[in-house]
Structures are given as structure tokens and as C-alpha cells.
């Protein structure tokens, strides 16, 4: 009984986290290293800082001078750490994955499956005996992956298909000759069928037809509208991925510029690509990605077409809504996660009451101190520090001057 009691008590305490860094080729050599106080530039690109319990790369909980995988930490006392509400809805698993994303180069054109698609695909590939770490694997878990990206720097991306009229206009600007047969097929009365047919045909372009289409788009971008942001990104994508039809992404998808503090939401099935910038990313706990271009990684165009939502959309720019003097929340439809920005200053201390779901905090700027009201334990907070706040932890308060982002379950 003594061991169980000790574990239960430990599980209720606030803990510091050590978080893995993912060294993907498109990552920055400065952003994450600088945030976490390590030498700049880093020896290799650093793309994502993961805070969570995904099997691929779980965070480590610092406990009495030792580290324990967050997955194992949760397993020893799931109700105390996750909270009864989370367990009832999602079982004994942390339902979100929290990241700092640093894109120095464009990411692939991609989409994420819905829940039914993820479960079916995961089971199908398991039956086929495809190892989880195989390069050709599409589904690495059975979960969907809605996500939100909040910019920490100026951030560029493409998100969702343009409206039919806008799409026709952009195709005529950049590919008036090579894609002229596509124009009359853009039917606003049947947008889903139209977009699916258009995108499938573009992915199927081969040989000289594809080369001519790319050449025409590049020529128009360089000579007719070189100052246009669409042209800028067509040219930049071509420099990174010459000969890839994915360079047309800024023409057919909504080009989005986010300023620091602005965000965009990506539901399942939304075609998108992050192009450049540093941001906070929060998503359902999944690593499922279906790619269509702009990458040396595995591409499965047929499977991508199956998971895509072929609807024109206005991605909009999200801003956090104030919910207390220190908190502003980005409101989404996601059941697994909620992203909250905490702004602490000398005249406004953050007070967190008990009876919460699990929280993970990361300090983006400034200095502060977090105090566990029950135990009196204090945690000095500096840029790059992250904390696990179990559901069973007592009230806590944060004082100082800092910008902190919080991931939790609504």
C-alpha cells in the first residue's frame, strides 16, 4: 500500500518536462535551440519540439532527479494525472500532442484522416504487416488529427481550396495555356465534384505536359506578377522542389499569412502546407499524414484523394478570445484539445483553481514563478521551460512577467 500511496501522491504533483526534438530536414537551426537555451546554430535542423505522450517520442517527466516517460507516468495513476473527465471520454491516453514547430523550409502538401479513416487505414496496414516505422506507412496510429497553428513569428501557409471563381481566376493568371481545358470544368454548382476532378487530374500530370504547366506558371510568376505573394511562393517552392507539381499549391489553395498571435485551424481532410515560420501547434494525439507533393517522403496520391474534403473554404484568421484577465483561448470544434495563451505581468497574477483537466505549459518569453498553493512548492520559469500540471494538482498561481501557452482538454 505504501508504494501505491507514494505513486498517487507523486502523480498529483506538478512536474517539469524534458521534451524531444524532431530533426526533420525542413526544420530551423536556430528557433528551437534558442528557445530551449542551447547553442545556436544547432548541429542539424530542428523542426518540432514535442510535448506529450505519443509512442513515437514521449516527453520525459523529471522526478526526484530521474526521468520517466510521460506515457509510463500516466499509466501509473491515470485518473490523478489526466482527470476523470478525460478518462471517460478518451480512456487512459493523453488525447493531445503539443508542439513548437519551426519551419525554415516548406513542408509537404498534406492532409490528415478523420477518425473512421484513421482506424480503417491503421488496421489495414497492420494486417498487411507494414512496420510502424516503414517509410511507406501511411497510418502510424488509429487516431484522427485536427490541429491548430498559432504563429510566434510571421508565418506563411496554404490552407484549403480556393473558391471556384477565385480558383478559375488564378489558373487563368498563371497557367492560361497549359491548363485552359480545366477552366470550363470549374462548375460552382457542383464544387465538390469539380474540385476532386481538378485536383486528381493535376496530380496525374506527367512528362512534358507537367513540365510545360510548371514552366508556364514559373514564367508568369517571374515576369508578370513578381511582387505578388502567390508568385513569390510559386518561385520559392520551385527552387526547393524543382519539377514538383506541388509548386502550384499557392495558386489552387488559400495563401495565408499569420502575424504573431494569430492562428488557423485545420480540421480532418483539409489540404494544407506550412511554408515558413515558427508557431505553437496543438493537435489530437496522432502522427498520421497523407502527402501529395513537395517532399522526398512517401507519397500516396490515391489515399490522399480518399481522405480529402473537396470543399472550398475560407481559412480565416483566428484570434484568441479573452476568458479571464490573464487567459485568452483559441476556440475550435476539437474535443481533444484547447489552446490558451497566458499573459502574466506585474499587475496581473494568474490564479488557477483546482478541478481542472491535465495541462501542459510552455514559457515562450519572460520570467515568472509558479507556486503550488497546496504544497507551497515554487517553480522558477524561464523561456523554454515546460511543466506538467496533473488534473489532481491543487490550485496554483503564476506571478512575474511572461508569455505562456497552455494545452489542455476542454
**Residues designated catalytic:** 291
The CB density around residue 316, as the number of other CB atoms within 10 Å, is 14
Cis peptide bond upstream of 41, omega within 30:
yes
Residues 6 or more apart whose Cβ sits within 8 Å of residue 65: none
- Specify the pairing of strand 327-330 against strand 272-284: unpaired
Count Cβ atoms below 10 Å from residue 299 Cβ, excluding itself. 21
> Which residues touch 166 (CB under 8 Å, ≥6 apart)?
none
* In the block, residue with C-alpha cell 532527479: 65
| Burial class for 232, CB neighbours closer than 10 Å (0-12, 13-18, 19+) | middle
The cell numbers describing 302, all together, are: 490515391
Extract long-range pairs of 120-128: CB within 8 Å, 24+ residues apart. Answer: 121/288, 121/303, 122/288
Residues 6+ apart with CB under 8 A from 277: 103, 151, 152, 153, 154, 155, 156, 157, 258
Q: Which of 300, 326, 321 is nearest to 109 (CA)?
A: 300
Cell of residue 309, nine digits: 474534403
- Positive or negative, the CA dihedral 398, 402, 405, 410 is positive
Amino acid at each position: 500500500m505504501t508504494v501505491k500511496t507514494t505513486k498517487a501522491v507523486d502523480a498529483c504533483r506538478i512536474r517539469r518536462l524534458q521534451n524531444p526534438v524532431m530533426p526533420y530536414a525542413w526544420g530551423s537551426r536556430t528557433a528551437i535551440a534558442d528557445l530551449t537555451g542551447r547553442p545556436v546554430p544547432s548541429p542539424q535542423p530542428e523542426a518540432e519540439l514535442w510535448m506529450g505522450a505519443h509512442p513515437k517520442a514521449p516527453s520525459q517527466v523529471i522526478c526526484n532527479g530521474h526521468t520517466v516517460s510521460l506515457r509510463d507516468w500516466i499509466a501509473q495513476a491515470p485518473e490523478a494525472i489526466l482527470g476523470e473527465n478525460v478518462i471517460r471520454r478518451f480512456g487512459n491516453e493523453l488525447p493531445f500532442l503539443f508542439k513548437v514547430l519551426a519551419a525554415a523550409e516548406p513542408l509537404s502538401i498534406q492532409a490528415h484522416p478523420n477518425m473512421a479513416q484513421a482506424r480503417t487505414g491503421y488496421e489495414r496496414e497492420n494486417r498487411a504487416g507494414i512496420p510502424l516505422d516503414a517509410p511507406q506507412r501511411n497510418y502510424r496510429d488509429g487516431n484522427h488529427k485536427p490541429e491548430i497553428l498559432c504563429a510566434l513569428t510571421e508565418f506563411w501557409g496554404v490552407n484549403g481550396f480556393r473558391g471556384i471563381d477565385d480558383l478559375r481566376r488564378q489558373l487563368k493568371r498563371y497557367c492560361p495555356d497549359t491548363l485552359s481545358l480545366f477552366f470550363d470544368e470549374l462548375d460552382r454548382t457542383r464544387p465538390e465534384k469539380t474540385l476532386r476532378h481538378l485536383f486528381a487530374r493535376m496530380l496525374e500530370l506527367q512528362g512534358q505536359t507537367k513540365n510545360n504547366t510548371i514552366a508556364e506558371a514559373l514564367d508568369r510568376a517571374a515576369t508578370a506578377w513578381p511582387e505578388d505573394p502567390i508568385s513569390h511562393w510559386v518561385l520559392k517552392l520551385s527552387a526547393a522542389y524543382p519539377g514538383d507539381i506541388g509548386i502550384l499549391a499557392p495558386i489552387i489553395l488559400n495563401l495565408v499569412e499569420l502575424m504573431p498571435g494569430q492562428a488557423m485551424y485545420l480540421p480532418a481532410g483539409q489540404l494544407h502546407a506550412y511554408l515558413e515560420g515558427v508557431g505553437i501547434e496543438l493537435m489530437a494525439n496522432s502522427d498520421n499524414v497523407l502527402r501529395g507533393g513537395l517532399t522526398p517522403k512517401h507519397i500516396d496520391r490515391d489515399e490522399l484523394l480518399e481522405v480529402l474534403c473537396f470543399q472550398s473554404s475560407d481559412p480565416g484568421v483566428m484570434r484568441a478570445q479573452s476568458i479571464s484577465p490573464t487567459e485568452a483561448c483559441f476556440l475550435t470544434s476539437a474535443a481533444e484539445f484547447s489552446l490558451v495563451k497566458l499573459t502574466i505581468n506585474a499587475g496581473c497574477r494568474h490564479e488557477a483553481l483546482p478541478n481542472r483537466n491535465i495541462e501542459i505549459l510552455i514559457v515562450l518569453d519572460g520570467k515568472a514563478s509558479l507556486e503550488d498553493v497546496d504544497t507551497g512548492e515554487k517553480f522558477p520559469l524561464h523561456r523554454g521551460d515546460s511543466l506538467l500540471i496533473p488534473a489532481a494538482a491543487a490550485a496554483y498561481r503564476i506571478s512575474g512577467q511572461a508569455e505562456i501557452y497552455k494545452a489542455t482538454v476542454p
